Structure 1
Amino acid sequence: MRLTILNTVPSSPAPLDPWEVLLSGPAPDAVRIGLAVPLSGPLALTAPSALALAGLAAEECTGAGGVGGRRVELVAIDSGRAPEVVAAEATALRDAGAIQTLVGFHTSDVHRALERAWAGRGTYVFTPPHEGGPSAPGVRRTGHGPHAQHAAAIAWLVTHRRAARWVLLGTDYVWPRAVHRAARTVLADLGAQVVGEALVPFGPGDPAPLLDLVVRSRADAVLLSLVGRDLALFHREFARAGLDRRVVRLSGALEENGLYALGGDATGELYASMPSFAASSSSTDERQLELQERHASRSGHDAPVVCAYARGLYDGVRLACALLGAPGGRAAAVPTGAPRLARADGLSFTELRAG
């Protein structure tokens, strides 16, 4: 899976293979950034977008003079594997001088393992929505925490969709647990109820108990913290059970690649709260539009979509380059706007005003 994905990255240069980099040793005329993205596992469906936008960021950094005159290269690390495996490979590359810094998006159990293992090895930029709480020295988190990401979206749905009875469903790891804690607080403050909750392992499983929980609890809405392929599979079963047109769904992990994977949605009842969404020509998100134009110019109009994870990774690579080239490793933070709420409309999203 990893080699297949790397070979389909549009434009050049493609990310370097970690084992080839270890064998060849450091390149004096290049700065190498470890790119920890899921090339396997539930989030692998986002990898083409992520790799393409990270490549654009590296190319733009090099074109602007690089880091101290050295070109910027990316070394791909498959962060879809077990946390301890990812952490061991990343630290081995750093200790061998094969990479100078680390940027990535992945699930928060991998993030925690990397955060512990990377200590004292420089900067690690983690770009997706995260679980909140303090971060270790050297770790730069550029996404939103659970409360910031979900509060306005939940409030909008309680008010505008009369969603008073909520079921919380997620994968059993760090980020969904944190999302559930934040959601319970937000819903209590709004006078709404949590009438059911479940956490399930990664991977395809029997959706029947989860669907039964939604029916038995007479839920108006479901907050979903499943990710990637698992999220898409659940949505399909939700629709097959006939629940998609009468129960509101909100996800903090649904972007365009996931929407494509589930075949789109035209019920008007599927919502996502993400840092950004792919923009149409009428969008007010000027940064997204400009980024899409540069991406299309580099990779063609049939290039992978600029989803929220990919845009976050683009910003993360640009930040890493700035940190490597700045005196004392200091650089301005990546501008992070408020999370955006959108409703699925076929194979795209229509943004709504949540705040």
Structure 2
Amino acid sequence: MHEIVLVNETHLGVPPHEAFGMFGRSGGPSWLFSARFEHAEPGAAAGVDIPLPFAAPGGETTVRGTARIVEVRPYRRIVLQHETPWTGRITITFAREPGGTRVRTVTELDQEALGWMTGGTGRAVPDGEGPADATCVALLTSMSGSAGLFGRAAANCAALAAEEINAEGGIGGRPVRIEVIDDRTHAATGLARLRELDQRRGLAAVVGVHSSATFDAVSRYARESGLLYLYTAANEGSRVQDGTLFRLGESVADQLAQAVPALMRESGGRAWYLIGNDYSWPRAVSTQGRRIAEHHGGHVVGERLVRLGESAFDDVLEDIEASGADLVLSSLVGWSSIDFERRFHAAGLRRRIRTLAPLLEESTREHLGAAGSGVWSCLPYFSALDTAENADFLRRYRATFGPWAPSPSALTESAYEGLRLFARAARKAGSPRGGEVSRALHGLTLAGPRGRVSVGADGRLRQSMYLAEATATGFAIRGQLPSGTA
């Protein structure tokens, strides 16, 4: 049920076909005309800057979100469906009137939007309060901020896992209930919201799909409280298990050990430029990338770290061009990655400089379209994997969330794998709590969408890695690295 409806009308002194064509172009007369997408067609991913009806607790008056174009009637009507930071609907109509066009925008926001604006902590998936004896598990992810474009797919994958776990009888006969926490791509916010929800609900576990910065902030609380914490996103790889904390995601070494020399062989390039956001994971990518490149006869000709969320890259592109680089290693995240790759492509640099972006996955690529073509990535899952297990997973995903839901990726599908591993370990332990589940995780195997994965005695998740090249419409798998050898 929608709780807020915002209506805005404006007059443009141009005919409807020109007004319609302004949608998605920068420099337009209203916030909707600053929407960013490649083509105005059903299914296209769009980034939108959403004005808030009142300032949020953090002082925000606008928020960058993601949406999907679901209906287009040329020169008459466009409909978008919100994905992040909440769900909702935007309907834009274009009507001829004397002297130009009347543009009417109706924005429908739901309870998630109210919670976001008022600083609410968590949201249940699926909706509803659920039984009092449910096993409560948090998904800590980013539904807003610079990494917010991953959030909806992560929440969907977690919801699908919970649905399947509950269909199997839950854990010890008790259903699993998922609470989604939005860290807003801000470490302190993630810590505060996780602590508050744990103290209010008594969490059995948390699955983390967020930045390493948030992990660094919340890990101490999780250790001290004994909270089982399964961090399933890509990470630096240091200390895989620490008590009830597990870094199950792929490490930087897993991603780069063979991807860096493979791109050097493919392109014949040797001169690398390193660009990333300024926090722990990109710094580890740059350090490891330099070491691996030099080991294989390459060298680094330039390096730059920019703030998380950075969108201005003109000086960086000038520096790359002047450096003589023929290869780029990008550890930019979220919207920074999108803004950089769009400008890199528009500047014509893609024609002579190859790029390896180890966190380029489906959510990011969808917002790039043709601008991302030719970029390489190395991850343990792509939705393009041609296996029966993945085909079945995608069929269930689309049946549950619809044809326009954002595609699962290595980042977001990891929430599904993490919850399935948690449920299996809790059943093995006979308890969903802390230390028992930690011990039961060791030796577990799971055949899932990304293939067979197993948790070693050291807490490390052993899984295959795939090299892939982005195209205008998806990823082309270029090779598979054997499990456990990266």
Determine if the TM-score, normalized by the shorter chain, exceeds 0.5. yes
Deviation at 1:27, TM superposition (A): 5.1
Q: Assess if the C-alpha contact under 8 Å between 2:467 and 2:477 holds in 1.
A: yes
Match of 1:203 in 2: 309
Match of 2:474 in 1: 348
> Does 2:195 align with 1:91?
yes
For the residue of structure 2 that corresponds to 1:264, the secondary structure is: helix
Residue of 447, 460, 464 corresponding to 1:338:
464
Match of 2:396 in 1: 294
Equivalences for residues 233-312 of structure 1 within 5 A: 233-265=339-371, 267=373, 269-279=374-384, 283-312=385-414
Match of 1:34 in 2: 138
Residue of 84, 108, 118 corresponding to 2:212:
108
Separation in structure 1 between the aligned mates of residue 372 and residue 206 of structure 2, nearest angstrom: 39
Q: Is the helix fraction higher in 1 or 2?
A: 1
> Does 2:164 align with 1:72?
no
Separation in structure 1 between the aligned mates of residue 144 and residue 156 of structure 2, nearest angstrom: 16
Separation in structure 2 between the aligned mates of residue 96 and residue 353 of structure 1, nearest angstrom: 46
Q: Percent identity?
A: 29
Separation in structure 1 between the aligned mates of residue 407 and residue 311 of structure 2, nearest angstrom: 28
Provide Cα deviations, 1:61-103, integer angstroms capped at 9, x if missing partner: 0000101111111111112342122112212222233422101
Q: Are residues 25 and 7 of structure 1, via their aligned partners in 2, closer, same or farther at CA, if it must alter by over 3 Å?
A: closer
Q: Are residues 176 and 311 of structure 1, via their aligned partners in 2, closer, same or farther at CA, if it must alter by over 3 Å?
A: same
Provide Cα deviations, 1:110-166, integer angstroms capped at 9, x if missing partner: 011111121133210111111111142211222111111112111111112112000
- 1:79 alignment partner AA: D
Separation in structure 2 between the aligned mates of residue 62 and residue 8 of structure 1, nearest angstrom: 27
Separation in structure 2 between the aligned mates of residue 47 and residue 320 of structure 1, nearest angstrom: 20
Q: Assess if the C-alpha contact under 8 Å between 1:266 and 1:346 holds in 2.
A: yes
Provide Cα deviations, 1:213-266, integer angstroms capped at 9, x if missing partner: 211111111000001111000011111211011110110111111111123347
Residue of 125, 129, 133 corresponding to 2:238:
133
Unaligned runs of 5+ in 1: none
Q: Is the strand fraction higher in 1 or 2?
A: 2
Separation in structure 2 between the aligned mates of residue 238 and residue 20 of structure 1, nearest angstrom: 38
Equivalences for residues 174-213 of structure 1 within 5 A: 174-213=280-319
> Does 2:87 align with 1:7?
yes
Deviation at 1:180, TM superposition (A): 1.0
For the residue of structure 2 that corresponds to 1:54, the secondary structure is: helix
Separation in structure 2 between the aligned mates of residue 220 and residue 242 of structure 1, nearest angstrom: 13
- 1:277 alignment partner AA: F
Q: Are residues 91 and 64 of structure 1, via their aligned partners in 2, closer, same or farther at CA, if it must alter by over 3 Å?
A: same
Separation in structure 1 between the aligned mates of residue 381 and residue 371 of structure 2, nearest angstrom: 19
Unaligned runs of 5+ in 2: 1-62, 66-82, 90-111, 430-435, 447-452, 454-461, 482-486
Provide Cα deviations, 1:2-48, integer angstroms capped at 9, x if missing partner: 99644369xxxx9x974688xx9995321111110101112211222
Q: Are residues 202 and 20 of structure 1, via their aligned partners in 2, closer, same or farther at CA, if it must alter by over 3 Å?
A: closer
Separation in structure 1 between the aligned mates of residue 472 and residue 295 of structure 2, nearest angstrom: 33
Separation in structure 2 between the aligned mates of residue 313 and residue 181 of structure 1, nearest angstrom: 28
Q: Alignment length, in residue pairs?
A: 344
For the residue of structure 1 that corresponds to 2:201, the secondary structure is: coil
> Does 2:149 align with 1:45?
yes
Q: Assess if the C-alpha contact under 8 Å between 1:225 and 1:252 holds in 2.
A: yes
Provide Cα deviations, 1:306-349, integer angstroms capped at 9, x if missing partner: 21112111101112223333322213155142221111111201
Match of 2:29 in 1: none
- 1:129 alignment partner AA: A
- 1:100 alignment partner AA: A
Separation in structure 1 between the aligned mates of residue 231 and residue 372 of structure 2, nearest angstrom: 33
Separation in structure 2 between the aligned mates of residue 256 and residue 20 of structure 1, nearest angstrom: 24
Larger Rg: 2
Considering only aligned residues, what root-mean-square deviation do their CA atoms show, in Å?
2.5
Q: Are residues 35 and 266 of structure 1, via their aligned partners in 2, closer, same or farther at CA, if it must alter by over 3 Å?
A: closer
Q: Assess if the C-alpha contact under 8 Å between 1:32 and 1:99 holds in 2.
A: yes
Separation in structure 2 between the aligned mates of residue 203 and residue 98 of structure 1, nearest angstrom: 33
Q: Are residues 129 and 216 of structure 1, via their aligned partners in 2, closer, same or farther at CA, if it must alter by over 3 Å?
A: same
* More moved, 83-92 vs 251-260: 83-92
